[in-house]
Amino acid sequence: MVQPSKPSLKDVAQRAEVSVATVSRMLNGSLELPEQTRQRIEAAIRALNYQPNPHARRLSRGRSDTIGLVVPDIANPFFAMLVAAVEEAADEQKLALSLYATLNRQGREVAYLELIERNHVDGLIFITNHPDDGSLGDLINRTGNVVVVDEDVPNAHAPKLFCDNEQGGRLAGELLAENGHRNVLFVGGPDQMISARRRYKGLADSLSNHFRTEIRPQRYEGDYTEAFGREAAQRYIAEGAVPTAIFASSDEIAIGLIEVLRAQGISIPGDVSIIGFDDVGPLHLFAPPLTAIRQPVRSIGRRALSLLTETDWKTRGNVPSEELLPVEIVVRESVAPCAKPQPQR
């Protein structure tokens, strides 16, 4: 049995004796019609039981009612929790969410940013995890409708939302200094990344303030990954394990560090104290439970969507230069008083 075809916009227009464009513009609210004409179109819609195509209506308004979320790695617990928060907030606003994982590759980031120009999404929450050579900033400025989250794109004129990285470094430094740790190793990203630069500065400032002399902690630079954490631990051991404490700039780095140190029989915190950053995994189940700086990940996700939907993208007159959300330190059992004599500097 052949199913009857659904009535189309053209069928409505013919019955109401108007053009297809007139019906379309009335339905999307972009045209005021005489009362008699409007009633004729509405009567045709009822008679034909016409159901407008929501996708076509969104396109006619130049909208998709879809938000894009670009993340480096959906397997990372930090990004997974952030995705869940954005999805929840988008659902409350009746918006669809499209998720794009870049594998932290710039070519994929560029491709997803260009989705805005093709009207596939109304805007993007954009997260990168590497320094920008200027290409991403230029593209964001061209497309607009982008909120930069977690890591900076320096030349982008866009709302930017970060945790208070410097505060996180200070909190870690204060706890280590209170336990007598003067010789501290920082393991994190390169200085070109705002997260690493500010976390290191907060750490150095708090140690210097506590010991009343300038202290520049030793530093290993690499990716925010377990693999880099393992490499850093091997280097730490090879160089003689001089620092008595390590501030790892992500949970992933801390996990890699602990894996190698434990395998080599190095006691935490007996031989070396460790503090992580993010606190999104089950760090309380570690042996010992890991002290960490906790990011407000869910708040970051929800606020990022608010910035995207509240910003006046036509004028960008209310685009904030930067917004910071506070962090806190969760003290567990991976930090202990320093047992080694500390060198004077």
Residue 108, in any domain of the structure: yes
The model's confidence at residue 13, banded by pLDDT at 50, 70 and 90, is confident
What residues form DSSP beta bridges with 273?
245
Q: Please state the rounded mean pLDDT for residues 19-31.
A: 74
Q: Please state the rounded mean pLDDT for residues 56-76.
A: 73
pTM, full prediction = 0.80
21 and 33, same domain (yes or no): yes
Q: Could you list the residue range(s) of the whole structural domain that residue 36 is in?
A: 9-54
Q: State residue 143's pLDDT score.
A: 84
| Domain CATH number, residue 84 | 3.40.50.2300
How many folded domains does the chain comprise? 3
pLDDT in tens, 187-217: 999 999 999 999 999 999 999 999 999 999 9
Q: Would you say 249 and 194 are in contact if contact means Cβ atoms under 8 Å apart?
A: no
208 and 264, same domain (yes or no): yes
